[in-house]
């Protein structure tokens, strides 16, 4: 790719960010497109600059395998988003990063119905398939932006963060604030200076801890109605990886847990608490993650999702 082409693409991305800045400043969303955090996908801010393109799928099921209804929503939804997510750590404003995420696509039955019923329920677990009646067949979208302030801890760069943002689209509207730790190298902290130098110890030194607390105000959209006005979300994950000097992983695997007070309400108007596990991996610039509500011992409402992405930032911005 020529230098002129790279410059043009960079200018387009910067223009998009500038257009979003008034919304960021006045409403002060995360690096995954809505509604992924409330489905169990990890939503920490990125601690290095990236420009990811990919696919995100989230499934909302009206019924569980026994035919019990989740709440007053009378549709099953397979939300399919093609996504672009740009995070920039600005040299002009040391310690600050911004994110712009856009997701859009057709809400329909596939491929999430096949993955849930034919693959997971039938082929893998051997449990009853989830019944489907009315479905949402629309084009949906979400646009989000966030601003994050990073702090160093004991010489560790970009570990502690606080931030805020918004997410809006055809599904719902949300404004949020968050605080947490990103890739705290607990392996190095726990085993630094150890007199033992075995292979297992070197392996444990690659462990990192991430955690986040988030509070959100949530408002109805075209797809989701009668939502809880406020939600409280907590996420924690443990990862192991090998990284370069810019914190970009050569390889990384992680497992996470999400607890959410719930964006949806039951038949009496009470928030429906959700819990999810998630697992994923990164191989250099390619990443995959999936999440599931099995941690909540249920199978309706926000049930599961997956994300596939590739970071093209080095192609456009580093040369």
Q: What residues does each domain of the chain span?
A: 3-317
> Could you give the CA distance from residue 88 to residue 145 in angstroms, rounded to a whole number?
12
Q: Which residue has the higher pLDDT, 135 or 56?
A: 56
Structure tokens at 56: 């995100």
- The per-residue pLDDT for range 20-72, each reduced to its tens digit, is 333 333 333 337 778 999 999 999 999 999 999 999 999 998 887 777 888 88
Quick one: average pLDDT of 211-215? Answer: 97
Strand-pairing partners, residue 167, are: 144, 174
Q: Which of 162, 146, 149, 116 is nearest to 31 (CA)?
A: 146
Q: Give 105-168 as a DSSP string.
A: EEESSTTHHIIIIIIIIIIII--PPPP--SB--EEEEEEEEEEEEEEEETTEEEEEEEEEEEEE
Q: Which residue has the higher pLDDT, 29 or 206?
A: 206
CATH class of 3-317: mainly beta
138 phi and psi angles, rounded to 5 deg: -140, 165
At residue 286, does pLDDT exceed 60?
yes
Q: Which residue has the higher pLDDT, 187 or 17?
A: 187
The distance of Cα 9 from the centroid of its chain, to the nearest Å, equals: 25
pLDDT at 68: 84
At residue 113, does pLDDT exceed 80?
no
Average predicted confidence (pLDDT) for the chain: 83
Compute how many other C-beta atoms are within 10 angstroms of the C-beta atom of residue 137: 12
What's the pLDDT band for 84 if we cut at 50, 70, 90?
very high
What's the pLDDT band for 209 if we cut at 50, 70, 90?
very high
pLDDT at 298: 80
pLDDT at 242: 87
- Return the minimum-mean-pLDDT range out of 183-197, 265-279, 293-307: 183-197
> What is the pTM assigned to this prediction?
0.82
> Could you give the CA distance from residue 31 to residue 43 in angstroms, rounded to a whole number?
6
Alpha carbon distance, N-terminus to C-terminus of the chain: 10
Q: CA angle, corner 205, sides to 202 and 209, nearest 5?
A: 155
At residue 104, does pLDDT exceed 90?
yes
Judged by DSSP in three states, 57 sits in strand
Quick one: average pLDDT of 155-170? Answer: 94
């Amino acid at each position: 790719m020529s230098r002129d082409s790279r410059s043009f693409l960079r200018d387009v991305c910067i223009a998009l960010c500038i257009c979003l800045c008034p919304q960021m400043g006045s409403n002060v969303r995360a690096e995954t497109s809505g509604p992924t955090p409330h489905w169990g996908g990890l939503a920490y801010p990125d601690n290095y600059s990236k420009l990811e393109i990919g696919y995100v799928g989230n499934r909302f099921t009206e019924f569980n395998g026994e035919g019990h209804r989740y709440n007053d929503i009378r549709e099953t939804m397979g939300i399919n988003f093609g996504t672009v997510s740009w995070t920039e750590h600005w040299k002009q404003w040391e310690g600050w990063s911004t994110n712009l995420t856009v997701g859009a696509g057709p809400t329909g039955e596939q491929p999430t119905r096949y993955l849930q019923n034919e693959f997971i329920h039938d082929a893998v677990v051997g449990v009853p398939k989830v019944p489907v009646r009315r479905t949402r067949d629309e084009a949906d979208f979400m646009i989000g932006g966030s601003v994050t302030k990073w702090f160093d801890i004991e010489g560790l760069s970009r570990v502690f963060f606080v931030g805020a943002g918004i997410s809006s689209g055809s599904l719902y509207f949300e404004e949020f604030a968050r605080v947490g730790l990103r890739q705290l190298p607990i392996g190095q902290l726990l085993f630094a200076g150890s007199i033992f130098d075995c292979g297992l110890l070197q392996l444990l030194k690659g462990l990192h801890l991430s955690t986040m607390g988030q509070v959100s105000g949530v408002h109805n959209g075209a797809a989701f109605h009668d939502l809880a006005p406020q939600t409280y979300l907590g996420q924690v994950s443990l990862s192991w990886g090998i990284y370069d000097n810019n914190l970009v992983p050569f390889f990384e695997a992680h497992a996470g847990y999400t607890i959410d007070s719930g964006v949806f309400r039951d038949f009496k108007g009470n928030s429906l608490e959700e819990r999810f596990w998630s697992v994923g991996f990164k191989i250099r610039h390619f990443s995959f993650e999936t999440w599931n509500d099995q941690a909540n011992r249920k199978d309706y409402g926000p049930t599961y999702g997956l994300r596939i992405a590739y970071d093209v930032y080095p192609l456009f911005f580093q040369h």
